[in-house]
Amino acid sequence: MRTYTRGAPTVFFINLFWSLLVYSLEEDPRGGVPFLNGYYNGHSMLYFNRDEVGALQQKAQGSHYHIAKKIREAGQTMLAHPDEYLPPWDPVDFSARWNEIYGNNLGVLSMFTILFPETMGALDLARDYMERMAAQPSWLVKDAPWDEVPFAHSLVGFATAYDFLYDYLSKPQQERFLQVIANATRYMYEKSYIRGWGFQYLHNHQPTNCVALLTGSLVLMNQGYLQEAYLWMKQVLAIMEKSLVLLQDVTDGSLYEGVAYGTYTTRSLFQYIFLVQRHFDIAHFDHPWLKKHFAFLYRTILPGFERTVAIADSNYNWFYGPESQLVFLDKYVIRNGSGNWLAELIHKNRVVEGPGQAGKGQRWCTLHTEFLWYDSNLSSTPPPDFGQSRMHFFEDWGRAIYDIVHQKKYKDWINGWRNFNAGHEHPDQNSFTFAPNGVPFITEALYGPKYTFLNNAVMFSPAVSDNCFVPWEGQLTENCNSKWLKYKHGSAADTQGRVLAAIESNGLVFIQGEGKGAYNSDLKIKSFKRNLLLLHPQLLLLVDQINLEKDSPIEQMSSYFHNTDLPFEETVIDGVHGALIRHRGELYKMFWMDDTGYSDKGVLGYRRYPPGYPYDGSNYVNVTMPLKNPITRGAYIFFGPDVDVQSFSIRGDAQRVDIYLATSEHTYTVYLLTGEVTSKPLFAMVLLDQKKIVFEKEAGVKDSPPVEVEDHVSLIEDHLQHIKPVFQQLEKQILAHVLNTDNFKKTAERLLQFTDKKTTEEVIEKMFSLSGKQNKNKNSKKGSLNDKLSESLPDIFAQIEVTGMKHMYEENLEEGDAQTFVDYGGLRYLKGRKGGFVKGRSYKEVHMIATVKSTDPSISASYIRLFLILNIATFFMLLALLLTRFQKTQSLHTQRCFYGILLIDSFILLCLYSSCSRTQC
């Protein structure tokens, strides 16, 4: 009895304490980002407070030195070449070309000024930079006035710099720059109702422009523009919270626009996630898509860490970051050091010159967020399987969007393809890339025209429709009249390819895709299966099988294979034609033949892109084969310099095709079962020397799209409700700040400007009398008066929603898109109401009041923190006493009393910790 009593409770309490501690650290959906709840001490406030600047400067000299070094290099480069980096004064020059570089570089310049204040000329350069941007009548590009993206880059950079450098600006500059931010933010708000980025979800334009609107609104909110900022902020959240709901359908962490444009999206998406947690306590750090997104950045990198799998419109790797995004994921989501590790490797292997180098307009713009989000406590740690060859299958890359559209999910706000923008995708179903040794051998053709033959895909002849390249016909989404993919209407809207199998077995990988759905049904293609077998890290076998309907009119197939960097050269061995590239003195080769063993000569060339694309063109190999009815097969092998192929042959019948390959080290006999009904439940079988490796149909891809997010409308409504309490808190702070001053009545009138005039006068009179009583009664508590003032105020934010929504609805009704967004103010309230919204308002006339930080919450948090520390100390003292002294006592009653005290103390500790978490102390 004594032994039992002495041992078990002690273990129980220790396990309970550590379990609670570990759980609380790992399961914090806020990611450890403190919620400010409207208590600002002026600027800076977006990402950090002014009293944190000293700590940031210390980090720049210590734990964050490697990132601060990059910031310093960027700042010093701009200081050394101001004529090259400063925006032009002349509006004609400013708007003459795509100008996102100006907003992108301003963020890092302002961070440089903060971290290294001793640098001569840095502050002057930053102020000159802002003066030049403020002097522009518009930040739009002259030739693309319908595109707010470069405008958004300018607004984000300008508003961020305003927040960072506020204390270094003169009073006239503060007021003039704030007016610029106000006018630009209002412009973005109005365009959000009529431009595609307001309703086309998960497209890179949407978070880019929404974060610009959010950033500007936050700065204005902090300066007292409560009505405008509230309405604009609510619009941002109404858009972006829907996107985050839709991302839950993307279960693999991918983004449908690919890796490069994916970083364009996440550059702003991660800023949004951070900002809404910091300022509105909207937590997304436990989002399932976020938890999987590291894999999208890690698994798509080619060996060498310089390039990525460049699918769809793309550059060689990433448009923005991805170091900033990786340290964000590490600090707030995965917490295992892998994000820091990958960010360091990418930076170490960065291409400085030539293909793959970062663009001049993008290379620095995420450095300030990388610095702010980096957690030096997370030691760089590679993923557990680093260095091991393994397959990773992104089952939702593009499929999730297709399913949302065609299954009519989220019909409250999704109306087919209208709510998505697949313009950057390519007609590339059944396409592939191959990089043995990390060397790009077969590549995609990067950002270019949306032609089928610019992908590693197949065309057919003769054409059955009036398309781009008669007599050849490509995929339905091919577009020869636009830079963008055709996807919205007709047969193109239903185009899809499917992955039927993605199986890894004994170091070999088998993938099968079905591409029939990407082509015109009048071609009468019964099935078009592309089979890929990775037999060795440097040996890939590709077998195409085209099964035609009896009355199919097509007679030929034409396959294309690309390399964006190196030209192909002809080669032939024993009558088998092929092509090769030379890379650093080594040869990478490909050969082909049809299922009769015949190999025809291919066409090698270079396709130059039309003007207006970032790349000149692509090298290609074109292999054309005649089609037999009903079945035709073509086989291709691709191999690197460490593989010596000595024999290659093929034969087949209606049920299967056999390929024999011999290298200097191994023999491979591949059996592909191709019949509609196979004799064995297999996709394929490989004899590697004498070893049998099978790929069973049971292991094929099984479609299991996720169900619609439960109660998603209420979820969004709940998040939108987080905004109003913050604004109400700021409203009280403003009134408290001007209490008993000459500005009180004027401030109250401004706060109530959207209410009914008679009601406004009555409320102001009541507030004014309360203010007068406070003047006479010096001993009355200010807090109680604040409560009375807040009780006197009508709900101005509910009224601004109604008047603002009505204004936008009336102005944009003819656009046909306003209906999508007038769903959170409630049109049902508009009928029969009168209200106005001041259009084209001059912000110069608005009296601005800086908010003052209240100390009440911090005092409360300090007391909780103090009690928590004392309670922890008490707990461990009692535990130590129990284990060292009272274990020896013969009194069972005494021991039980101590266990009781410990149990009560544990409960108090848990309550204090919970309270501390809620107040973010």
- With a cut of 80, say whether residue 775 has pLDDT above it: no
Region 502-512 average pLDDT: 97
Confidence of residue 900 (pLDDT cuts 50, 70, 90): confident
Lowest mean pLDDT among 61-65, 292-296, 345-349, 887-891: 887-891
Beta-strand relationship, 539-548 and 556-563:
unpaired
- Report which secondary-structure segment, H or E, holds 684: strand 682-688
Region 221-230 average pLDDT: 91
Q: For a pLDDT cut of 70, what percent of the chain falls above it?
A: 80
Lowest mean pLDDT among 243-257, 550-564, 802-816: 802-816
Mean pLDDT of the chain: 86
pTM: 0.85
- The phi-psi region of residue 459 (left if phi > 0; otherwise alpha if psi is between -120 and 50; otherwise beta) is beta
Region 524-532 average pLDDT: 97
For residue 110, report the phi and psi dihedrals to the nearest 5 degrees: -65, -35
Task: Say how far apart CA 623 and CA 142 lie, in whole Å.
Answer: 44
Give the pair of three-digit tokens for residue 588.
């990478």
Q: What is the pLDDT of residue 848?
A: 38
Region 652-668 average pLDDT: 94
- With a cut of 80, say whether residue 343 has pLDDT above it: yes
The CA-to-CA distance between both ends of the chain, in Å, stands at 44
Q: What is the pLDDT of residue 904?
A: 79
What 8-state DSSP symbol labels residue 248?
G
Lowest mean pLDDT among 7-21, 212-226, 533-547: 7-21
Lowest mean pLDDT among 5-14, 281-290, 365-374, 480-489: 5-14
DSSP line for 860-877 = HHHHHHHHHHHHHHHHHH
- With a cut of 70, say whether residue 276 has pLDDT above it: yes
Region 233-256 average pLDDT: 96
Lowest mean pLDDT among 380-389, 415-424, 815-824: 815-824
- With a cut of 80, say whether residue 166 has pLDDT above it: yes
Q: For a pLDDT cut of 90, what percent of the chain falls above it?
A: 70
Region 38-51 average pLDDT: 94
Q: What is the pLDDT of residue 764?
A: 55
Task: Say how far apart CA 100 and CA 402 lie, in whole Å.
Answer: 31
Q: What is the pLDDT of residue 784?
A: 54
Confidence of residue 606 (pLDDT cuts 50, 70, 90): very high
Confidence of residue 820 (pLDDT cuts 50, 70, 90): very low
- With a cut of 60, say whether residue 424 has pLDDT above it: yes
Q: What is the pLDDT of residue 13?
A: 46
Q: What is the pLDDT of residue 915?
A: 60
Of residues 420 and 822, more confidently modeled: 420
Rounded to 5°, angle at Cα 759 from 753 and 763:
85
How many residues are recorded in the chain? Answer: 921
Region 296-322 average pLDDT: 94
Confidence of residue 847 (pLDDT cuts 50, 70, 90): very low
Q: What is the pLDDT of residue 627?
A: 96
- With a cut of 80, say whether residue 772 has pLDDT above it: no
Q: What is the pLDDT of residue 797?
A: 74
- With a cut of 50, say whether residue 852 has pLDDT above it: no
Q: Report residue 194 CA to chain centroid gap.
A: 23
Cβ-based neighbour number of residue 693 at 10 Å: 17
Cβ-based neighbour number of residue 709 at 10 Å: 17
Cβ-based neighbour number of residue 530 at 10 Å: 25
Q: What is the pLDDT of residue 814?
A: 41
Q: What is the pLDDT of residue 822?
A: 30
Of residues 881 and 653, more confidently modeled: 653
Give the pair of three-digit tokens for residue 254.
């991918």
Region 718-743 average pLDDT: 82
For residue 917, report the phi and psi dihedrals to the nearest 5 degrees: -65, -40
Q: What is the pLDDT of residue 827?
A: 31
Smallest Cα–Cα separation from 201: which of 234, 245, 261, 151? 245
Q: What is the pLDDT of residue 741?
A: 63
Confidence of residue 744 (pLDDT cuts 50, 70, 90): low
- The phi-psi region of residue 156 (left if phi > 0; otherwise alpha if psi is between -120 and 50; otherwise beta) is alpha
Region 552-579 average pLDDT: 97
Of residues 914 and 169, more confidently modeled: 169
Strand partners, 621: 561, 604
Q: What is the pLDDT of residue 30?
A: 76
- With a cut of 50, say whether residue 214 has pLDDT above it: yes
Lowest mean pLDDT among 60-69, 144-153, 750-759: 750-759
Region 73-92 average pLDDT: 97
Q: What is the pLDDT of residue 736?
A: 73
Cis before 462? omega within 30: yes
Task: Say how far apart CA 109 and CA 367 lie, in whole Å.
Answer: 10
- With a cut of 80, say whether residue 99 has pLDDT above it: yes
Per-residue pLDDT tens digits for 426-469 = 999 999 999 998 999 999 999 999 999 999 999 999 999 988 89
Q: What is the pLDDT of residue 427?
A: 96
Cβ atoms of residues 919 and 864 within 8 Å = yes
Q: What is the pLDDT of residue 889?
A: 53
What 8-state DSSP symbol labels residue 565?
S
Q: What is the pLDDT of residue 331?
A: 97
Lowest mean pLDDT among 175-184, 552-561, 807-816: 807-816
Beta-carbon contacts of residue 777 (< 8 Å; ≥ 6 apart)? none
Q: What is the pLDDT of residue 753?
A: 61
Lowest mean pLDDT among 190-199, 342-351, 670-679, 778-787: 778-787
Q: What is the pLDDT of residue 828?
A: 28
- With a cut of 60, say whether residue 5 has pLDDT above it: no
Q: What is the pLDDT of residue 588?
A: 98
Catalytic residues: 205, 261, 447
Smallest Cα–Cα separation from 211: which of 35, 421, 46, 39? 46
Q: Can you say whether the dihedral through the CA atoms of 611, 358, 162, 242 is positive or negative? A: positive
